[in-house]
Amino acid sequence: MEAVIFIGAYLLDLAIGDPRTLPHPVVIMGAVITRGERLLRRVSPTAAAERLAGAVLTVSLVTGVFLTAWLGFKALYQLNFWLGAAANLWFLSTTIAIKGLADAALTVYRYLLKGDLVEARRAVGMVVGRDTQQLTAAEVSRAAVETVAENLVDGVVAPLFYGAIGGTPLALAYKAVNTLDSMIGYKNEKHLHFGRWAAKLDDAVNYIPARITACLLLAGIFMSNRDTRSAFRIMKRDSSKHPSPNGGIPESLVAGALGIQLGGKNYYFGQANFRATMGDRTREITPDDIRVTVRLVRLASAVFVGLAVIVIIMVGVIG
């Protein structure tokens, strides 16, 4: 049954993504983080106190999410097996973001194809943190490619990985870590100390999934008849340049496979920020690179789901 739930959750996300009319666990997690940060900052007058308060929030939320999910699913299964299975499948699907990621990127792609740079900037601004008002078409394309590639790890592979080894409760706990990092894990003045635990934990839990992602992307690149050798070479050379120990792996692989250069100058709240470049600039980035990157992500996720289902079935048979 675990294999059915696993593949069912994947297919459900591909089919409907995250409908806005239905409640999403991440929204609830975000509300808890916001309120928890506000309360804990009142008793955190020093940098050391902020680090402790951030650790308390991080550990409490992750542990709380896991235990709530585990106890909730257990109660539902005892009430009715099929009710428990349906809830399990639905909540696991909410940890995956393949359709949402692809749809957002392809919306940018379609605007660029129509020559509507204003709407393309607005659309890409919905999924990236950088300033987008003055971006050129090539810079909009780069932003979309970078976010699709980087989010393959935390939006697809990592939740599926933790769902495969620990079920939906562990996948939801991972999502709590990821949400914490996206809200407080910044190295800015406000969150440098308070978000340290969240940022470090996010790096740790994504370490193995990011390396798995490398293998999956290489498989997708090979299946797409792209330059697998160049992708691997660029990954070895450039992935460590990324500020994240994990995000540089998928970005560098995509850059190498497509023969483009990612990274460079971005603006955040009007301030220039230079991120080390990855890949060789053999040509300019085009909107079509967005479409190709989405295809690589879909292929990589499909390969992972297929392999994971085989492992789940084998473990079940042996067990």
Q: Own/partner pairs for 212-216, CB < 8 Å, 24+ apart?
A: 212/157, 212/161, 212/304, 213/152, 213/153, 213/157, 213/249, 213/250, 213/300, 214/249, 214/250, 214/253, 216/157, 216/300, 216/301, 216/303, 216/304
Instruction: Taking residues 70-87, report their average pLDDT.
Output: 94
Query: pLDDT digits over 199-213, tens only?
Result: 999 999 999 999 999
Instruction: Taking residues 221-234, report their average pLDDT.
Output: 94
Confidence check: pLDDT of 1 > 80: no
Taking the domains of the chain in order of start, what are their residue ranges? Answer: 2-318
CA 111 – CA 137 distance, rounded (Å): 10
What single string gives the DSSP state of each residue in 269-311?
Answer: TTEEEEEEEES--SS---THHHHHHHHHHHHHHHHHHHHHHHH
Q: What is the pLDDT of residue 275?
A: 83
CA 272 – CA 135 distance, rounded (Å): 13
Query: pLDDT digits over 83-128, tens only?
Result: 999 999 999 999 999 999 999 999 999 999 999 999 999 999 988 8
β-strand partners of 275: 264
Q: What is the pLDDT of residue 316?
A: 65
Considering only CA atoms, which of 169, 211, 219, 207 is closest in space to residue 62? 169
What confidence category does residue 292 fall into, taking pLDDT thresholds of 50, 70 and 90? very high
Query: pLDDT digits over 159-208, tens only?
Result: 999 998 899 999 999 999 999 998 988 777 788 888 899 999 999 999 99
Average pLDDT, the chain: 91
Considering only CA atoms, which of 142, 110, 136 is closest in space to residue 123? 110
Lowest-confidence pick of 73-82, 223-232, 262-271: 262-271
95: its two tokens:
């940890």
